[in-house]
Structure 1
Amino acid sequence: MSSNPGLHPAATPPVRIQQNILARGERRLLNWLCPRLPAWVTPDQLTTLGFVGAVLVAAGYVLSWYDSEWLGLALVGYIVNWFGDSLDGSLARWRRIERPSYGYFVDHSVDAMATLLMIGALGVSPYFRFDVALLGVIGYFLLSIHAFLAAKVVGEFRLSYMAGGPTELRLMLMAMTALMPVVGGGLVAGTPFSAFDLFGLFVASILVTLFVVQSFATARMLRRRGG
C-alpha cells in the first residue's frame, strides 16, 4: 500500500516493481480517476480518507457481534480505504506535486496504522481469533520491512509478491468478510480454530515464508555484489 516513493530529497527514487494480477487494470482506472477529481482534493486528504476507510472496516467487524449485517460496513470501508490509499500517490504524481520524503514517510506510516486497525479488528470479530489476526499483521509487516529495506539497499521498491499486492489482499479480505455470515465462526472439528482462523494461519505462513526467502535472496545478491 504505497504512495510517493523516495527516501531522501537528493536520492534517486527507487524503481517501483508492481507485478500483481490487477496492476494494469488498476493503473488504468487510477489514471482515469486522477484528472476527474476536483481541484480542491489533495493527496493528504486522500490519505486521510484511506484511514477513515480503515476505521469503517474496524467498526464493521466490532459491531458484527451485535448483527452480522454490520459486516456490510466493513465491505464499504475496504472500498473507501482502497480509493484513498491508491489515489493519494497517483494524484500527486499526476499533478506533479510529489513530496518524495514527506509522501513516503506519511503514507507508509498511515498504512501501517490502518493495517493494524483493520486486521486487528478482524481478530476481535466473532469469526476470527485475535492471535491469528496478529500473526497475519506480523507477516504483512515483515514483508513491508523487506520492501523498505530493499528500496534503500537495492533501489527497488517492490509493491507485489507472488502476483499479489495490496489490492488483491483487500479483495481476499472482502470475499472472506462476505462469507462470514454464511460460514459462521464455528470451530472446525478437533481444532480450536474456525475455518477463517485456519485460512488466516495459512496466509500468515505464506507471508512469513516469503519474507524469509526474499531476505535470504537479497542478502546473497548483496554479498555477491560486495555491497
Structure 2
Amino acid sequence: MTTTPAAGAPTRIQQNILARGERRLLNWICPRLPAWVTPDQLTTLGFLGAVMVASGYMLSWIDDEWLGLCLAGYIVNWFGDSLDGSLARWRQIERPNYGYFVDHSVDALATFLMVGAIGVSPYFRLDVALMAVIGYFLLSIHTFIAAKVVGEFRLSYMAGGPTELRLMLMAMTATMAFVGPGDIPGTNFSPFDLFGLVIASILVTLFIVQSFATARMLRARGG
C-alpha cells in the first residue's frame, strides 16, 4: 500500500500480499486503543515480543513445547511493530525523524535477536541463521539508501513484507515441533538449515538485483 508522505518524506511503497487486509485491520484497531497507549509503548511491546521469540528458541533445548512461546512472541512483535507508526499517523502525532530512527533501530536489534536465536536452537545451524540475518540487513540497507536517493521507501519485495516473513517463520517454528531436530542423513544440515539457506540466497540476490537496478536508473537520470 502506498501512503501519502509528509513534505520531504519518501513515498512508502507496500505491495505485499497481505498489505490491504493488514491495513484495514490496523485502521480498525487504532481508534479502539486506549488513549494512554503511545507509539513508544507499542515499539517497546514489539521488542518484548522479539525477546519472547528468542527465549522460546533457546528454551526449546529443554522441551519443544517452548516453541509455543516463539509463536506467541511473533504475534506480540507484529502487534507492537505494526501499530506504533500506524497509531502515530492515526492520531497525527508523527515525529518523522525520531520515529524513523528509533523504530528501525529497534527493528534491527529485534530481527537479530529472533533470527539469531533460531541459530542457537537445536533445529538450526548458527552460521545459516547469521547468513539469513546478513541477507535481511543487506536488503534493509538498500531500502534505507533508496529512501534517500530515490525518495521511495519500499516495505515489500516479491509481494512479501515483514508480515509474510513472520508468518513464514511461524510456520517453520510449528513444523519444528513435529519434525524435531536432526540432520538429513549424509549431510551436516537439517531440513530447516536448507530452508534458511534458500531464504538467505533469495535475500542476497534481491539486494544485488535491486542495487544494480537502482544504480542504472540513477545513472540514466544523470546523477
- Measured against the shorter chain, the TM-score band is over 0.9
1:211 corresponds to 2:207: yes
Correspondent of 2:118 among 103, 119, 122: 122
Correspondent of 2:49 among 39, 50, 53: 53
1:178 maps to which residue? 174
Question: How much does 1:184 deviate?
Answer: 1.4
1:131 corresponds to 2:124: no
Task: Identify which of structures 1 and 2 has the higher relative contact order when contacts are C-alpha pairs closer than 8 Å and 6+ apart.
Answer: 1
What are the residue-to-residue correspondences of 1:63-74 with 2, within 5 Å? 63-74=59-70
Q: TM-score, normalised by structure 1?
A: 0.95
Question: How much does 1:135 deviate?
Answer: 0.3
What are the residue-to-residue correspondences of 1:20-31 with 2, within 5 Å? 20-31=16-27
Question: How much does 1:186 deviate?
Answer: 1.3
Which sections of structure 1, spanning at least 5 residues, go unmatched?
none
Distance (whole Å) between structure 2 residues aligned to residue 158 and residue 170 of structure 1: 17
What are the residue-to-residue correspondences of 1:18-167 with 2, within 5 Å? 18-167=14-163
Deviation string 1:93-127 (CA, Å, 9 cap, x unpaired) is 00000000000000000000000000000100000
Distance (whole Å) between structure 2 residues aligned to residue 62 and residue 130 of structure 1: 12
Distance (whole Å) between structure 1 residues aligned to residue 147 and residue 185 of structure 2: 45
* SS state at 1:16 partner: strand
1:199 corresponds to 2:195: yes
Which sections of structure 2, spanning at least 5 residues, go unmatched?
none
Distance (whole Å) between structure 2 residues aligned to residue 45 and residue 184 of structure 1: 36
Percent identity for Structure 1 against Structure 2: 83
Question: How much does 1:206 deviate?
Answer: 0.2
Distance (whole Å) between structure 2 residues aligned to residue 142 and residue 23 of structure 1: 23
Distance (whole Å) between structure 2 residues aligned to residue 222 and residue 191 of structure 1: 45
Give me the CA root mean square deviation.
0.9
Question: How much does 1:189 deviate?
Answer: 2.1
4+ aligned runs moved over 3 Å, structure 1: none
Question: How much does 1:188 deviate?
Answer: 1.0
| Paired letter, 2:167 | L
Q: TM-score, normalised by structure 2?
A: 0.97
